[in-house]
Amino acid sequence: MKKILLFGFLILTSACQTAAYAPTLTPSLFPTSTPHPTPIFATASPEPSPTLELSPTPFPRLFTEEFDSSLTGWVILQAGNDGVPNIKTDKSNLILQMDFPYTWLYALYGAEDYSNVRIDTQFENRALTPAAAGLICRYSDEGGWFEYNVSTDGTYNVLYGKWLSTGIADYLPIIDGTSNEIQPTGTIQKIGLTCSDSVLWLYINDKLIRKVDVAHYKLAEGKVGVATSSFENTPIVTAFDWVTISEP
């Protein structure tokens, strides 16, 4: 059964791309809300709710999500266009499909904020290439976020994302590189990201490939999650088998 949690249609600008869609402001899911555009929370009823509905039991802080039950606590964000994304869980996988070029999809764990944390995931790119999958840490509406992406063309990068004004965000490249550990489309692989004080630790298939000093950006804490993006070719389908949030 398709489980659509949240849609946010934002505009991203980068060094080479600016989208042309201006969304309507809606209340933020996150408690550190600022006047930047944030998504509408979709419930089972036709009426949207601006806040996260609490479950009968407390949200866990450290856990492994295997996507075989309710996705309560997770938030889906879309950026790049206003098309409806194709999001579902199937056979214990979170499936994020992008049918439009230059689209960014994020699944953030909205129930907790983290300072020092490790996040790991196992995923497979099931469709066209190039495509990217990644991990997010220290996300906030006001402060921005760190994003670690691995692309099917054998490259990786770390970006600092931050809202510039209503409807416009900027991605600042921090580092990039290549790795023989990165697998092509159709191959299951793992990536990991540790955010520890002022250093990001980047992993591919459990191998540490790089440490990155990010003290300059002064991001102290925030949400964590996974990311995927399309470029010129569509559709792009990324299947996340599991996500683990743990102590660094």
- Secondary structure class of 184 (helix, strand, coil): coil
CATH number belonging to the domain at 6-246, selected among 2.60.120.560, 3.30.70.120, 1.10.3720.10, 3.20.20.80: 2.60.120.560
Chain centroid to Cα 133, Å, comes to 8
Tokens describing residue 245: 């949030």
Pairwise pLDDT comparison (83 vs 16), residue with the higher score: 83
Q: Rounded CA gap, 216 and 156, in Å?
A: 21
The predicted model gives 157-184 an average pLDDT of 84
pTM: 0.77
Tell me the backbone φ, ψ of residue 215, rounded to 5 degrees.
-60, -30
Quick: pLDDT tens for 9-44.
Answer: 333 333 333 333 333 223 344 433 333 333 323 323
Q: Pick the closest to residue 157 from 227, 245, 81 (CA basis).
A: 227
Cβ atoms 145, 138 nearer than 8 A: yes
Pairwise pLDDT comparison (74 vs 69), residue with the higher score: 74
